[in-house]
Every structure is written in structure tokens, then in C-alpha cells.
Amino acid sequence: MIKFTNVFKAFPKGGLALKDVSFHVAKGEFAFLTGHSGAGKSTVMKLIYADERPTSGDVRVSGYDVNQMRPRDVPLLRRKLGIVFQDFRLLEDRTAEENVAFALEVTGARSSTIPARVMRVLTQVGLAAKAQAYPRELSGGEQQRVAIARALVNEPTVLLADEPTGNLDERATRGVFQLLRDINASGTAVVMATHDLDLVRQAPYRVIELQEGALVYDSAVDEARDQAAAP
């Protein structure tokens, strides 16, 4: 599904954003990507959605080779991903419903199918009643739910969430996190970058930790090794 093999990424002004990073996220898996600010979490995310290309090494996502892919294939890759950001990235002059529909319209979905699909995901994130509200009329947690609905509407195989709870209070954080767990439970792989360690400890999910661009801990690998080493 997502496979990094010995990935290096240089900053444009010199220095390395990522140093020899390798990991594999399987279909349907939930993985945390943790580390301090500047550890390289967002770079990993950008490589996954092909906003950046690795300086060396191999990045494969949903059958695409990010190093080799043609620019015109990038939109096709992104349609297989759902992406959620800390700052929601909603269009202020459109309602919740229109924001979600927008993601379908730009991919050329048949317009007759759009309203039903939009309502289905808005219901899934618990915002059906606020479909006509504009972003400024919604709380942070609700705006993030709209963003998640937009990410889900194309039925992605992977949901990428880059600090999705970074701007939310504790209650909204719990709600959004539970929503991501539900989405994962229905079969969608989730990669969530966060530095909220409380959240990470709460759930029995895989943890990949980055430090200054290097992968320093991967629970899937390290726990297996620990178990093998145990008497």
C-alpha cells in the first residue's frame, strides 16, 4: 500500500529532511507518525501524496512509483487518497455540502450521483444536519469533520491526516480521533501524523517515530524483534 525504501530527501537549501527512511504500511492498517515539529512528518506525508519526490530511495503508494510517475498521473494517485490537514483547508465561500461536493466535481463524477454521496459521508461524520452551514458557522471540530467527509467522499484506500487534531480542543480531538478509528475499522488505512502522545498511548496502533529526519522507532518492527529476543 505505502512502501518507503531507503528514502532520503534533501532540503532545497541543503541539509536532509529525511535520512534513510524505510517502512511499509499495509492495507487497512492504522499507523501513527510521531516526532517533534521538524522531525520530517510532513515531508513523509508530502512524499506519499506526491507533492514532493524523494532525492533518493523508493516511494511506492497504491501501485504508483512516486519517483518515476508522470505529472499527469499525480491527480490519479490523489484520488485514491484522502488528505486532511491541521488547518482544515475548506473553501470559506461554500457550504459544508458544497465543500464536499467540490472534491467529487473536480474528479469528474457524474453530477446526478453527487448529492447522495455527499449526504452519505456527511452523515458518516455526524454533520448531516449542518450541511448548509458555512465554515465560519462551524466549530473547529465540525470543520475538521467536513474536511474528513471531503477526504472520504472519493472512497480512498488510504486516509492521510497531518496533525488533524492540532487546532482542536480536547473534546473535539477525541471526537475526531474516534471518527478516524471508525473509518479505519471499515477498512480504510489511516496514516496520522501527530505529536499528541496521549492520543498515541490511548490506542493499540502502530507507531512510527521520526527524529531529525531519521526513523528511530517502528513498533511493528521493534516489538517483533523484542518478542523474538524474549526467552
Residues within the interface to another protein (CB under 8 A): 49, 71-72, 75-79, 83, 89, 91, 102-103, 105-108, 111, 150, 154
State how beta strands 16-25 and 30-34 pair.
unpaired
CB of 152 to another protein, least distance (A): 11
In the bound state with another protein, the residue whose beta carbon lies nearer, of 71 and 204, is 71
In the bound state with another protein, the residue whose beta carbon lies nearer, of 160 and 215, is 160
8 Å CB contact between 27 and 21: no
In the bound state with another protein, the residue whose beta carbon lies nearer, of 8 and 102, is 102
8 Å CB contact between 66 and 47: yes
Distance CA 84, CA 54 (A): 22
CB of 32 to another protein, least distance (A): 22
- Written as one letter, the residue type at 43 is T
Scanning the chain, the segments in alpha helix (DSSP H) are 41-48, 74-78, 96-105, 114-124, 140-152, 170-185, 197-202, 219-229
In the bound state with another protein, the residue whose beta carbon lies nearer, of 2 and 151, is 151
The candidate with the shortest Cα–Cα distance to 150, out of 213, 105, 210, 212, is 105
CB of 79 to another protein, least distance (A): 4
CB of 150 to another protein, least distance (A): 7
